[in-house]
Structure 1
Amino acid sequence: MQQITPKQRGYLIVNSHPTGSDATVHRLWESITPAARTGRAPVALVLGSSAGYGLAILLAGLRRHGICGVGVAYETPASERRTATAGWYRTAATAGLVEQAGGDFTFVNADAYADATRAEVLKLLADRYGAVDYLIYSLASPRRTDPATGEVHHSVIKPLGHPYTSPSLVFEDGVPQIGSIDLTPADEAEHAATVKVMGGEDWRLWVQALADNNLLGPDFTTTALSYVGSEITAPVYRQGTIGAAKEHLEATAEQLQTTVLADRGRAFTVVAGAAVTQASTAIPSIALYTSLLRNVLGEDGWHTTTDQAVDLWEQLSGAKSLVLDGQGRIRLDGWELESAVQQRVRELWADPAGALAADPAGPDWFYSQFRQLYGWDVPGVDYTTEAETSVPWPAQQR
């Protein structure tokens, strides 16, 4: 039992709160409306199940569709000096909800990029769950070890071709202020390394491994999370190194559809909308853009990660028609990119200091959402009391 206070450095908090992380999962769970279910439980493999869209898709699948299967995340346990990562505590909370609901889901804590992890998960699937109906690929990492060569590749968040200068949102003791960022273009090695980490290579390896082990269900569907976003952030995102990786991911979907999944299943990239996640907070200028977008949309117009996850499952399960763009990508971001919304965000972006002075609600909301990623600022949690930091990883069911 420990009294914990946040240790924060900019957009990074190096410790997490177990009670707050647990409460975050329960709040997400309660925000999802249950649905009546019939028939067998679909088997799902969720890669990146402890945070962001991966967690939201997992919770929506459990709550509304009764999925069973395996979730893979790479989290760090508590030590004498540090708490566990927030994703560790969120996974424990998710497992508790699965148990309460009488479900059957197994959580593996391992590097999803590693061949050894693939082998472990494939054996678990074959022994306990059988063929996979859904593979959700939602991994985000600053580095990846190529299993074929052993080389470690590091991703960068940089523009391509031209320098990038932009206003940014910074917080001084929690008070929002307008700053500035200047980024030099990525070189070819950085460009290639980012595609290696965040492109579609690892996704293809997972699908191929399932196919090679006869673990593709008769109506197999796989999705990988992508983002397009606004023209405002395009120079550092869609036209930058991350955008190049997302283009590779999208090209991989087409390749999977015509090769390993030809007549055997479906592969889609899913273009999600803006969200406050541990991955998105690392992207320069995204905090300011998201805060202004929140001011424009307000609470009623904002689509949370669980809102979008429910929408995705409705489309994947056939409960509603697929919303596809001209490139065959599933779109969940229409609410963000509606022309009137983007026009108003551009107007605010032209004078961010004035926009902040006129309405700090968006930045204040962003700051609270960011801290909740680590279990802080969660409504209803008493942070003055001690919390148990040594929470066990969920045991595999027998």
Structure 2
Amino acid sequence: MIVQPRIRGFVCITAHPVGCEAKVRQEIEVAKAAKQDGGPKKVLVIGASTGYGLSTRIAAAFGHDAATLGVFFERPSQKGKPASAGWYNSVAFEKAAHEAGLYAKSINGDAFSHEIKARAIEMIKEDLGQVDLVVYSLASPRRTDPDTGETYKSCLKPIGQTFTNRTLDTDKGEVSEVSIEPADEEEITQTVKVMGGEDWELWMKALSDAGVLAPGVKSVAYSYIGPELTWPVYTNGTIGGAKKDVERAAAAISEAYGCEAYVSVNKAVVTQASSAIPVVPLYISILFKVMKEKGNHEGCIEQMVRLLNDRLYGGDLQLDEAKRIRVDDWEMEPDIQAAVAKVWPEITSENLNALSDFSGYQQDFLELFGFGLPGVDYEADVEVDLPLPSGG
């Protein structure tokens, strides 16, 4: 079938299999160009199909020749309709890894469940023996507690007071004001249950109890801090509260299992998750223009190459006062933030394209779903029912 983008709000409900493969191949080339000795060799990536999780898997495999097991929850093609972008990304990754002679298998299912943890452990025992890096990169709107069966839902809200600031309607290209009412205590609690560190701890306990964590194993989970203008809805809001719980979990995991567990604070990039956060798309559009002009702009893959090569395995962790790895360091440089802050009050719908890189934001957004990639014929008939090479 011929697949075209169909966008609803901050989500594209179609994905292009050839375009997704082209994007994955682009990232593979970046990882290969930065290849170095050392690094992880047997890697479990929980949340491996999009964004930073996918890029970490690519950086480990093609930058360090690592065997990788990916866990994700994606939609395969059904009734002739395209699969999700994450499904096509994973198909493309496995295909490329197998071509390169690398071990790559995947598990598609609810990573919060005991069943998927058990399947992952069984596969590690059979194929890898142990893993030396565990990446936790889940971003889900809901989580069902595997013991109680209770389902929790996360929300993006400020805490304590209503937040009003500028935002960007990415469909219409319009700058406007948005007001978000504060979360109540139940919403705060539920968001921590979904996006906090509890499930990361459960994974590490299950892996440790099964004896599949290698001596000297490292583990990393991802976070974001950003500039003060986004703090009310992110860092000091419900999601920020959940991320603080991830930091608590990192310390608990390090102590309980004798491993190095870290939170990596990453740069603002266009992902399915970041697109949903009010204020953030406008900030990203301005940030991209500033960083591209300075020459230090990075996407997901460049960030993850730097995380593995320079920080986790390069002997230069550069932990901050909260013992977090900061690969958002270039974004948060004072001159970068000053340039963004100068533009922020001046930007309008009329001067959006002149004062920001909104076109770059739109391009990155389309590429998340396999659209807008050079060399891809989007008028061609493509096969949408693609199986995972490893069987999934």
* TM-score interval, normalised by the smaller of the two chains: over 0.9
- Cα pair distance change 1:361/1:388, threshold 3 Å: farther
More displaced stretch, 112-121 vs 11-20:
11-20
TM-score (norm 2): 0.96
Q: Does 1:249 align with 2:246?
A: yes
Counterpart check, 1:4 vs 2:13? no
Answer yes or no: is the 8 Å Cα contact 2:49–2:90 preserved in 1.
Answer: yes
Deviation at 1:171, TM superposition (A): 3.6
**Partners of 1:215 and 1:311 in 2: CA distance:** 27
Matched, 1:231 2:228: yes
2:143 aligned partner? 144
Task: Tell me whether 236-245 or 361-370 shows the greater mean CA deviation.
Answer: 361-370
Paired residues for 1:62-77 under 5 Å: 62-77=61-76
Match of 1:301 in 2: 296
Q: What residue is the counterpart of 1:190 in the other structure? A: 187
Cα distance change of structure 1 residues 46 and 94 upon mapping to structure 2, 3 Å threshold: same
TM-score when scaled to structure 1? 0.94
Amino acid aligned to 1:184: E
Count matched residues.
390
Read off the aligned partner of 1:182 and give its amino acid letter.
Answer: S
Q: Given the alignment, which residue of 278, 286, 295 partners 1:284?
A: 278
2:35 aligned residue: 35
Q: Is the 8 Å Cα contact of residues 295 and 359 (structure 1) preserved in structure 2?
A: no
Residue 363 (structure 1) aligned with residue 358 (structure 2): yes
* Secondary structure at 1:311 match in 2: helix
Distance change in 2, residues 1:351/1:340 (3 Å): same
Following TM superposition, by how much is the alpha carbon of 1:10 offset from its aligned partner in structure 2, in angstroms? 1.8
User: Which one of the candidate residues 232, 250, 259 is aligned to 1:265?
Assistant: 259
The 3 A distance-change label for structure 1 pair 3 and 338 is same
Structure 2 gap segments, 5+ residues each: none
> AA paired with 1:227?
Y
Which residue in the other structure is 1:342 paired with? 337
Displacement of 1:182: 1.4
For 1:350 and 1:81, locate their aligned partners in 2 and report how far apart those are by CA, in whole Å: 47
When residues 81 and 128 of structure 1 are mapped into structure 2, their CA distance, relative to the original with a 3 A threshold, is closer
Tell me by how many angstroms 1:165 deviates. Answer: 1.2
Check 1:210–1:315 CA distance in 2 against 1; reply closer, same or farther (3 A cut): farther
Q: Does 1:135 align with 2:134?
A: yes
**Structure 1: distance between partners of 2:353 and 2:50:** 33
Provide the rounded CA distance (Å) in 2 between the counterparts of 1:253 and 1:86.
Answer: 30
Structure 1 residue ranges (4+ consecutive) displaced by more than 6 angstroms after TM superposition: none
Q: Distance in 2 between matches of 1:360 and 1:380?
A: 29
Q: Which residue of 2 aligns with 1:176?
A: 173
- 1:361 is displaced (CA, Å) by 5.2
The answer to whether the 8 A contact 1:113-1:202 is kept is yes
Which SS does the other structure have where 2:87 is aligned?
Answer: helix
Residues 348 and 355 in structure 1, CA contact (< 8 A), matched pair in contact too = no
**Is the Cα–Cα contact under 8 Å of residues 61 and 68 in structure 2 kept in the other structure?**
no
Give, in whole Å, the separation in 2 of the partners of 1:357 and 1:92: 37
Separation in 2 of the partners of 1:34 and 1:240? 37
Cα deviation, 1:136-189, whole Å, max 9, x if unaligned, reads 0000000000011000100000000110112111145xx522122211001111
Match of 1:369, as an amino acid?
D
1:265 positional shift: 1.3
Percent identity of equivalent pairs: 36
Query: Aligned-pair RMSD on alpha carbons?
Result: 1.7
